[in-house]
Amino acid sequence: DALRESEERLRTFFTQMNEGAAITDSDGTIIEWNQAAEKLTGIPATKALGRPSWDIQMDLMVPENRSEERRAMLREMTTRCLRTGISCFSLPQEHEMVRGDGSRVVVRQNICPIRTTGGFRFGSLTEDITPHMLAQRALRESEERFRDVLSQEKDYFAAIFDSVNDAIFIHD
């Protein structure tokens, strides 16, 4: 009874989390794919489950990076990581991804090994960081525009500061 309740809590957590979550078996086949992964990728669970993870990765890869060599490299890397239990990446990875509808998003992905009695599986959590990246870009562009205006108006600001007793110094 306690085991069943624990499994239900974990299942509810997995299905209701905001991050796209997937789990592969020890062969690299997708065995879990939550609703957030469906929404993020545009790939329904019915099309993801039972497929090799490297095939899903290729489907989501930007077209200019797709190649059979890349597929083979992903397959070899995944197989090695599943054999050793060492994550393919030590830090979260940020990359551009193409959804099923062709739109692009920037995602941050964490991959971690899951030890089982039969070896290793991998879990993956993926979140859409496109809004964050767009906000960073807008801030950089705004700062660049401000610096341009300021550099063009240095003489004007210097004249204003010379005419007041309490000046604010701006140093570039």
pLDDT in tens, 154-164: 555 555 555 55
Dist. CA 138–CA 37, nearest whole Å: 27
Q: Count Cα neighbours of 147 within 13 Å in the Cβ-side half-sphere.
A: 8
pLDDT, mean of residues 89-95? 89
First-to-last alpha carbon distance for the chain, in angstroms, is 67
Q: Is 68 helix (H, G, I), strand (E, B) or coil?
A: helix
Q: What is the pTM of this model?
A: 0.77
Residues 6+ away with beta carbon under 8 Å from 172: 147, 150, 151
Residues 6+ away with beta carbon under 8 Å from 9: none
Dist. CA 140–CA 134, nearest whole Å: 10
DSSP state of 90: S
Q: Is 43 helix (H, G, I), strand (E, B) or coil?
A: coil
pLDDT tens digits, 52-70: 999 999 999 999 999 999 9
Percent of the chain with pLDDT over 90: 68
Instruction: Please report where in the chains the tokens 């941050």 appear, as a residue.
Output: 108
Rounded to the nearest 10 degrees, how much is the dihedral formed by the CA atoms of 90, 92, 94, 97?
100
What counts of helices (H) and strands (E) characterise the chain?
7, 5
pLDDT tens digits, 104-121: 999 999 999 999 998 999
